[in-house]
Structure 1
Amino acid sequence: MRQNPSFAMTDVAELRRLIDENPWVTLVSHTEDGLVASHYAVMLDGGRDDLTIVGHVGKPDDLVHGLGERELLVVVQGPHGYISPGWYGDVAAVPTWNFVSAHLSGVPEILSADENLRVLERLVDRFERGMPQPRGLWELPNDEEFVTRLERGTVGFRLTPSRVVAKRKLSQNKPVETVETIAREVAARGLPLDSALADEMRRAEEARGRR
């Protein structure tokens, strides 16, 4: 990802929020057969305040990626959307795309079966808690045999990134009045990610002290 210092995202707390709010990520590896990519949910490693994430892949994706043997790139994609040049007013402008994204790179650590099981439990609980009737990993009709078989079909990993490239391109290079106009137009468009993108634009402006 080409970086622009004006759009660089370096605040660890904000990066943690990005990961927590956008857990569905892309895993990319460079293998002897070329590039491979998979898609899985991850989460921040509990009890830590850095950018360490934990997750799992289903077998045989662990072999496809050479998990634990080579560098893994984790792409976190936040809110994004098309920006019309008509929203800049009566000035020369071209279309663009606003987005928030982070690339976490490093060699992951393979989790033991017990650690992997705890991660699977946390992952289920994380998404089930928003359900009207949450159903945990160990709740009936799941039994120990079923859960054990499920764990054996996955490989858990922990990644403490050795390199982080994150970008928050949200029209920060435009006058504050223009940014607010764009955020308002984005929110009014009503596409699935538009409200979140408008919120990110306003949040970035607040962080810069321009709102």
Structure 2
Amino acid sequence: MRQNPSFAMTDAAEIRRVIEENPWATIVSAATGGLVASHYAVLLDEERDDLTVVGHVGRPDDAILGLGDGEMLVVFQGPHGYVSPQWYGDAPAVPTWNFVSVHLSGVPEILSADENLRVLERLVDRFEAGIGEPRGMWAAPNDEDFVRRLERGTVGFRLSPTRVEAKRKLSQNRPDAVVDTIIQKLDEGVTPYADPRLAGEMRRAHGAMRAAREGRS
């Protein structure tokens, strides 16, 4: 990912927030036949306070990805969307795309069966929590034999990244008035490009920038 110091995201707490809020990840590795990508839910390791993540892949994706044999890239895509030049006012401008993205790279550690089972259980609990009556992985009609077979069909991993690239390109190079207009357009819902989540990311980033400017003045 091409980095621009103006758009770099370096705060570990903010990077963790983006990962936590956008767990559906793209996993990329360089296999013998070329680049390979898979898509799975990946979570922060609850036993760590850094950027270590845990997840799983289904068999035979572990073999296709060469899981554990070399470096792997995990991409988390946050809110993103089109920004029209009309929203910049009368100044010359071209369209752009605002986005938030985190790339974690490193060689993953393969989890034991028990560790993988705990990760699978946590994944189910995480997403079932949004349902009125959550059904955990061990809840009926699932029985232990079913759950154990489920675990054997997957391979869990833990990735402690050796390289982190995080970027939020959210019109930081634009005047405050233009940023406020873009946020308004994204919030309004009158165009197909409206996205309140992206507007929220812009508010967060620009609020921090404005607070920093006021602190220096």
Same fold per superposition (TM over 0.5): yes
Aligned to 2:66: 66
The answer to whether 1:187 aligns with 2:191 is no
Give 1:1-211 correspondences, 5 Å limit. Answer: 1-189=1-189, 194-209=195-210
Q: What is the rounded CA distance, in whole Å, between the counterparts of 2:178 and 2:102 in structure 1?
A: 25
Contact 1:40–1:57 (Cα < 8 Å) also in 2: yes
Q: How big is each residue's C-alpha offset from its partner over 1:21-71, in whole Å with a ceiling of 9 and x where there is no partner? A: 000000000111000000000100012110000000000000001101110
Q: What is the rounded CA distance, in whole Å, between the counterparts of 1:167 and 1:34 in structure 2?
A: 26
Contact 1:79–1:193 (Cα < 8 Å) also in 2: no
Q: How big is each residue's C-alpha offset from its partner over 1:135-166, in whole Å with a ceiling of 9 and x where there is no partner? A: 00000000000000000000000001000111
User: RMSD value over aligned CA atoms?
Assistant: 1.3
Q: What is the rounded CA distance, in whole Å, between the counterparts of 1:2 and 1:160 in structure 2?
A: 22
Q: For residue 22 of structure 2, what is the amino acid of its counterpart? A: N
Q: How many residues align?
A: 211
CA pair 100-120 structure 1, distance change in 2 beyond 3 A: same
Q: For residue 73 of structure 2, what is the amino acid of its counterpart? A: L
Query: For 1:6, what is the secondary structure of its paired residue?
Result: coil
Q: For residue 126 of structure 2, what is the amino acid of its counterpart? A: R
Q: What is the rounded CA distance, in whole Å, between the counterparts of 1:57 and 1:193 in structure 2?
A: 34
Q: How big is each residue's C-alpha offset from its partner over 1:79-98, in whole Å with a ceiling of 9 and x where there is no partner? A: 00000000000000000000
Q: What is the rounded CA distance, in whole Å, between the counterparts of 1:29 and 1:192 in structure 2?
A: 32
CA pair 205-96 structure 1, distance change in 2 beyond 3 A: same
Identity fraction in percent:
70
Structure 1 runs of 4+ off > 6 angstroms?
none
Query: For 1:139, what is the secondary structure of its paired residue?
Result: coil
Cα deviation, residue 193, structure 1:
7.2
Q: How big is each residue's C-alpha offset from its partner over 1:184-211, in whole Å with a ceiling of 9 and x where there is no partner? A: 1011136587100000001001111259
Q: What is the rounded CA distance, in whole Å, between the counterparts of 2:147 and 2:47 in structure 1?
A: 25
Query: For 1:118, what is the secondary structure of its paired residue?
Result: helix
Cα deviation, residue 170, structure 1:
0.1
Q: How big is each residue's C-alpha offset from its partner over 1:101-153, in whole Å with a ceiling of 9 and x where there is no partner? A: 01100000000000000000011000111101100000000000000000000
Q: What is the rounded CA distance, in whole Å, between the counterparts of 2:69 and 2:55 in structure 1?
A: 16
